[in-house]
């Protein structure tokens, strides 16, 4: 069981790396085209970037990481969407929260590119950890074990 869980963590981490590339690349593309510090636009950009990454995540995790439990039915897709919304909420809260912290009086100034990528990295770490546990124990769990 521990060996299987370790393998899942490794697969999930590799897929997470591809998700991070999709997420960061799309966020940075948005900020390159439309540079902004406005919270509403940052929230929109983060949501779109995260959604692209989560679509990538579902495809690869359903196929490889949790493929032996994946059913790709309405129930599973619904549960995946619920976990994605929870993880998106965490991602947005951390991302916007850290961007806000960077603009507190007395904080050291960093260029928007640095601020947004530090904030995004922390958001990805916390939301992907949450996502892993929700997928393992909620979305792709073995229904005979439940």
pLDDT, tens digit, for every residue of 101-118? 998 888 888 898 899 999
End-to-end alpha carbon distance in the chain: 16
Q: Single out the residue of 23, 15, 5 nearest to residue 88, CA to CA.
A: 23
CA gyration radius for the chain? 17
What confidence tens digit (pLDDT) does each residue in 63-73 have?
776 666 556 77
Q: Is the pTM of this model over 0.85?
A: no
Residue range 92-109: mean pLDDT, rounded: 91
The DSSP secondary-structure symbol of 64 reads I
pLDDT given for residue 126 in this prediction: 94
């Amino acid at each position: 069981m521990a060996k299987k869980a370790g393998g899942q963590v490794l697969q999930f981490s590799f897929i997470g790396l591809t998700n991070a590339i999709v997420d960061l690349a799309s966020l940075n593309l948005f900020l390159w085209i439309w540079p902004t510090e406005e919270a509403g636009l940052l929230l929109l950009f983060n949501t779109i970037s995260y959604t692209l990454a989560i679509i990538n995540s579902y495809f690869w995790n359903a196929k490889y990481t949790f493929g032996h439990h994946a059913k790709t039915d309405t129930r599973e897709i619904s549960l995946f969407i619920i976990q994605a919304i929870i993880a998106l909420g965490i991602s947005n809260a951390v991302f916007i929260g850290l961007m806000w912290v960077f603009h507190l009086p007395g904080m050291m100034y960093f260029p928007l590119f640095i601020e947004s990528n530090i904030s995004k990295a922390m958001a990805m770490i916390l939301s992907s950890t949450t996502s892993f546990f929700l997928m393992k124990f909620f979305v792709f769990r073995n229904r005979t074990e439940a």
